[in-house]
Amino acid sequence: MKIQNPIIWADMPDPDIIREGDTYYMVSTTMFVMPGAPILKSKDLCHWELVSYVFNTIEDNDIYQLKNGRNAYGKGQWATSLKFYNGLYYACFVCHDMQKTYIYYTDNIEKSGWNRYVINDVFHDMSFLFDNGRSYLVYGNGEIKIVELKDDLSGVKAGGVNQRLFSTPAENIMLRCEGCRAYKIYGYYYLLFIEWPYDGNGRRRVVCYRAKELLGEYERKILLDDDMEYHNQGIAQGALIDTPDGEWYSVLFQDHGAVGRIPYLLPVSWEDGWPNMGINGRVPEKLEIPLEEYEARPLITSDTFSHNENELDLRWEWNHNPEEDCWSFTENPGYLRLRTKSLAKNLLAARNILTQKTSGPKCTFSVELNTEGMMAGDYAGLIALQGDYGAIGVRADNNNLKRIIVSKKDSDTRQNKEEYKLLTDNSVFLKIDFDFENSRDIAEFYYSQDSVNWVKLGSDLHMTYTLDLFIGYRIGLFYYSQETAGGYADFRNFIYESLV
């Protein structure tokens, strides 16, 4: 089977992968969107489909409810470690907003909402390591440490191993080693990290430490330092995985502008006990692997919203915890109805923004909005969600006038900018086009009365990947009020198109 990199042109950072027989499972980072920690399934390491989420929500507090000015933007679930051990699947991650480490477990990886243990400590960017009947987390940034877990993984083992393994270089280093993935292969302990030096190529790279003894002396080697000629954005941080036939591969990600952090597949060979990533030290644009193509469901989907039950497709995720009684498919059959029961000062404070990922090189999303139930101060529509956001929607005012509005917050001014057109009917079609090709990173906004003839409104949004949200741009359906809660907005026929 022929592979074209990247294998997924969408935000799928911090991958970790396990194999069960001929089936691969991958976990990724979703930060503050709910449900989170998606589990993807594949049989060819290239075509992946979403099958479950580790958690439905992390905590039910002001941070995750967008209350009292608090939020989990740029935080939440990071860099999850995924393993199968003693008949159970385990996923571990840190929430820096909560200053806690979460260990989730299940006997069915394709079912969402796992059980969990909570540790009141931070084991940053950890990796599970199971060895000789004992369980560990290897973690840290620069100072790499190891801690032993109880036999049932419910917490730190009293009197167990708990020490520093080694220090990684600090001189001329912007980001010291982190993002650990730990393995025991061919009699060696291998610890893989991402590192970002100032010197050399000055980009992210893959670094490996290995030792014969877990607590012994570790050797260091740079395994990969390549950007595929994309703006010196190094391809790094990810997992090693083998096939049933003993072939080895790695999945790593690259910061790729506004679309987010996207994964690549690399062949791995072994020489003198070290894994060699890529081909002659480079990430191949194309490669051939001895696996049959897997027919995976797309990772982004259209949705008519014509459903008999209030159950979302797995590919939808909420911005923070949803208000479950404020959305419905059954209240107005054929539509997604969003309601408000609280006020929000702006889009980033709005509850129940329903999101999906965007995709490169280009994609477009459209939806029909019915505004009949909107009240004064309400705003509903489509958003290109990031710290520098752009939205097109309908806003109602106190004079019962409704305007189609493009609202933006961008890096040029850091201020809200609005342009509008009066709405003459209760129904309108809205569309956002995304162009990530060749780092163009532009979003354009359109409206229509018939979904055929589209009118561009407002100026383009120059999309920027900012660390305040720390995600690739998402498309979102939103509805919120600044004045009086209790109204509703109806959406139907959400359409996604990938423009390759």
- What is the chain's pLDDT, residue by residue, as a tens digit (500 residues)? 999 999 999 999 999 999 999 999 999 999 999 999 999 999 999 999 999 999 999 999 999 999 999 999 999 999 999 999 999 999 999 999 999 999 999 999 999 999 999 999 999 999 999 999 999 999 999 999 999 999 999 999 999 999 999 999 999 999 999 999 999 999 999 999 999 999 999 999 999 999 999 999 999 999 999 999 999 999 999 999 999 999 999 999 999 999 999 999 999 999 999 999 999 999 999 999 999 999 999 999 999 999 999 999 999 999 999 999 999 999 999 999 999 999 999 999 999 999 999 999 999 999 999 999 999 999 999 999 999 999 999 999 988 799 999 999 876 545 566 788 999 899 999 999 999 999 999 999 999 999 999 999 999 999 999 999 999 999 999 999 999 999 999 999 999 999 97
**In the chain, what percentage of residues exceed pLDDT 70?**
99
Q: Amino acid letter at 196? A: W
Measured between its terminal Cα atoms, the distance across the chain in Å is: 20
The label of the residue with tokens 């189609």 reads 404
3-state helix, strand, coil in the chain (%, to 5): 5, 50, 45
Contacts (Cβ under 8 Å, ≥6 apart) of 168: 142, 143, 144, 176, 177, 193, 195, 207, 209, 220
Active site residue 313: no
Name, in order, each residue with C-beta under 8 angstroms of 178's C-beta and a sequence gap of 6 or more: 124, 125, 140, 141, 142, 193, 194
From the candidates 14, 368, 378, 435, give the one annotated as an active-site residue.
Answer: 14
- Exactly one of 97, 125, 148, 178 is catalytic; which is it? 178
pLDDT reported for residue 417? 65
CA-to-CA distance for 354 and 454, rounded, in angstroms? 24
Q: Which amino acid is at 111?
A: K
- What does the alpha-carbon distance between residue 297 and residue 343 come to, in Å, rounded to a whole number? 37
Is 14 an active-site residue? Answer: yes
What domains sit in the chain, N to C, each tagged with a CATH number?
2-288 (2.115.10.20), 317-498 (2.60.120.200)
**Rounded to an integer, what distance in angstroms lies between the CA atom of residue 139 and that of residue 191?**
10
Give the model's pLDDT for residue 411: 60
Helix, coil or strand: residue 239? strand
